[in-house]
Structure 1
């Protein structure tokens, strides 16, 4: 089979896998169902993906890439790190509404099954988010919004953990769905810590 039809078959299989993942989740989705949904034989499926984990893992990676690309396109339009962080909380709060955020939902609802797809290139939520945020952390440091003595990779991971907390854990003093409240929180607590010299003795 030529390269173009092969690519088309892979795309059909991944499209079908995404449909079934959204409908049924990882555990309940079978290879046979994906092949039927895609309109290809199981033999064709196994020519491209050796097992269920590889197939669903590839579908999850493709969904993740799309989700992060859309988020990056939005954040790239914002001029300050504070604005980017506020937008990051909003994006995170609405992840369940976006098809591309299905991997985040699956990671929460079926953690063991999700981990079984790790061999296909899926990594943990905190490292994923930290990697995503690192360029924005580096940009903020270059603009003087983050003290130069900070370890920027460590900052990116801390930002990821803060955003996960704000996006998923309800609180009593901040409404994470209120951009003005999130902005106040960032200005009062997050940005002062990033502007401070981490090497300065207390």
Structure 2
């Protein structure tokens, strides 16, 4: 097996999503994922503690990029303008592989309660990261929490639209457009 070849982590994620889609999450084993990725089981465990964690591959990077974008937003930016800056920064790390995996990953999550739970925890973590970054900018906690939650929702909606689109565009415009739609929707709440 080619465990020494670069890109093992990415190959593991692709293999897992393919297998989850083909045969379901519960029926997929770590050994099958490793074999499909062309690595050993021990290589799998160097990258992931279990198959469920494949779903959140890159979450730390995504959280870091969101918070860096928020921190680097212009002084005087509103909380949602800062979140938009975070979304733009995080979106810059999303490439063709992310786009291709989007619909298949969505289907795999929809078919597994365990993956739905892990996906929910991922959302909580991303919202907490954005909230912390906004509080560090001086945004009051309740406002920061709401803006962080809207940021997660905007990212998810934008990502879904982007991954299902045929247009050859970056993710950022989709995520920022979703945030703007949510901003308008909150005004209708009264």
Partner of 1:4: none
- CA positional deviation for 1:18: 1.6
CA contact (8 A) 1:106 1:114 kept: no
Residues 1:66 and 2:61 aligned together: yes
Give unpaired runs (5+ residues) of structure 2: 23-27, 163-171
- CA positional deviation for 1:149: 8.1
Higher alpha-carbon Rg: 1
Cα distance change on mapping 1:105 and 1:91 into 2, 3 Å? farther
TM-score by length of 1: 0.50
Partner of 1:97: 95
CA contact (8 A) 2:69 2:88 kept: no
Measure the CA separation in 1 of the matches of 2:158 and 2:20.
27
| Residue-pair matches, total | 163
- CA deviations 1:41-75 (Å, max 9, x no partner) are x6x579x59xxx96322233332223333343344
Residues 1:111 and 2:109 aligned together: yes
- CA deviations 1:141-186 (Å, max 9, x no partner) are x1xxx5x48464344324433554566569xxxxx8389x96xx59
Give unpaired runs (5+ residues) of structure 1: 1-7, 171-175, 194-201
CA RMSD, Structure 1 to Structure 2 (Å) = 5.0
- CA positional deviation for 1:101: 7.7
Partner of 1:157: 149
Cα distance change on mapping 1:71 and 1:102 into 2, 3 Å? farther
1:14-33 aligned at under 5 Å gives the runs 14-21=9-16, 24=18, 26-28=20-22, 30-33=29-32
TM-score by length of 2: 0.52
- CA positional deviation for 1:78: 2.1
